[in-house]
């Protein structure tokens, strides 16, 4: 006789960048094991890869986790964790002014993704030529060449965020060209155009949760959490 099947609750999460609503289930023991193994390795790449795997496992419909942006992935992981374990996590931070440690309860369901007021994905080179950029995607977590690029990582990241290049008559999809060809194209750009690309890369959407408190000196203080590691140690 086979063991009984377990019915898991389902919940809907809206992907911030696309507004698409996707059904997920909570973490199971198998996902906890994935996170614990990654945490034990203490390798950031392993931890990030485990986050992607967990989000992919918990999706209940066709869902290409590699195609979503990094901030979408982090947001989805936080919201799945809120549904699976607890909406509240405890964090501790040392105040830089009075050097005391303060404990806070973070409500994960109130974490937001903040988009920059001006997001220009199309970088014009001339009136008829330009580059269309995209946000870094979750596929970076398995890109060994990028992860080992060291001091050249920012430039390598830019090449992976080129969506297409166009001129007055043709659109050139980046996937049709090698990384070397894209690097050579970037090397040929004028400095002003490259600065616009850098501005796009620096001003990415980000997670946001603000903590307001008074320290022991009676001063109003604000902490803004913006990365996955700010919220909790993966478990």
16 and 107 share one domain: yes
Over residues 29-78, the pLDDT tens digits come to 899 888 888 777 767 777 888 899 999 999 999 888 989 999 999 999 99
CB burial class (10 A; 0-12, 13-18, 19+) of residue 86? exposed
Distance from C-alpha of 225 to C-alpha of 220, rounded to nearest angstrom: 17
Residue 59 lies in a domain: yes
How many domains, in total, are found in the chain? 2
Residue 117 lies in a domain: no
34 and 142 share one domain: no
106 and 210 share one domain: yes
Residue 116 lies in a domain: no
Q: Long-range contacts of range 175-181, CB-CB < 8 Å, 24 or more positions apart?
A: 179/145
What integer pLDDT is reported at residue 190 of this predicted model?
A: 95
Using an 8 Å Cβ cutoff, are 107 and 87 in contact? yes
72 and 137 share one domain: no
194 and 216 share one domain: no
Q: Which residue has the tokens 């549904």?
A: 83
128 and 45 share one domain: no
Residue 214 lies in a domain: yes
105 and 215 share one domain: yes
The pLDDT confidence band at residue 153, using thresholds 50, 70 and 90, is confident
194 and 219 share one domain: no
Q: What is the model's pTM?
A: 0.88
| DSSP code per residue over the chain | -PPPPPPPP-EEEE-TTT--EEEE----HHHHHHHHHHHHHT-HHHHHHHHHHHHHHHB-S---GGGSBHHHHHHHHHHHHHHHT-SEEEEEEE-TTT--EEEEEEEGGG-EEEPPS----EEESSSS-EEEE---BGGGGG-HHHHT-GGGHHHHHHHHTEEEEE-SS-EEEGGGS-HHHHHHHHHTS-HHHHHHHHHHHHS--EEEEEEEEE-TTS-EEEEEE-SHHHH----
211 and 186 share one domain: no
Residue 155 lies in a domain: yes
Residue 3 lies in a domain: no
Distance from C-alpha of 225 to C-alpha of 233, rounded to nearest angstrom: 13
129 and 196 share one domain: yes
Residue 140 lies in a domain: yes
What integer pLDDT is reported at residue 234 of this predicted model?
A: 41
190 and 149 share one domain: yes
Over residues 161-191, the pLDDT tens digits come to 999 999 999 999 999 999 999 999 999 999 9
Q: Which domain holds residue 216?
A: 11-111+206-231
């Amino acid at each position: 006789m086979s063991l009984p099947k377990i019915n898991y609750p389902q919940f809907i999460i809206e992907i911030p960048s696309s507004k698409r609503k996707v059904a997920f289930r909570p973490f199971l023991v198998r996902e906890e094991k994935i996170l614990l193994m990654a945490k034990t390795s203490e390798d950031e790449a392993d931890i990030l890869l485990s986050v992607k795997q967990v989000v992919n496992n918990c999706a209940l419909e066709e869902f290409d986790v590699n195609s979503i942006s990094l901030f979408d992935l982090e947001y989805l992981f936080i919201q799945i964790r809120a549904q699976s374990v607890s909406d509240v996590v405890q964090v501790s931070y040392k105040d830089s002014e009075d050097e005391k440690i303060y404990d806070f309860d973070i409500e994960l369901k109130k974490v937001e993704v903040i988009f920059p007021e001006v997001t220009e994905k199309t970088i014009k080179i001339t009136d008829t030529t330009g580059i269309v950029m995209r946000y870094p995607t979750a596929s970076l977590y398995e890109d060994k060449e990028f992860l080992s690029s060291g001091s050249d990582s920012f430039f390598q990241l830019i090449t992976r965020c080129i969506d297409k290049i166009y001129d007055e008559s043709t659109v050139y999809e980046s996937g049709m060209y090698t990384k070397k060809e894209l690097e050579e194209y970037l090397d040929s750009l004028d400095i002003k155009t490259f600065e616009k690309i850098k501005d796009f890369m620096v001003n990415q959407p980000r997670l946001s949760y603000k903590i307001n408190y008074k320290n022991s000196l009676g001063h109003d203080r604000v902490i803004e959490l913006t990365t996955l590691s700010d919220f909790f140690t993966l478990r």
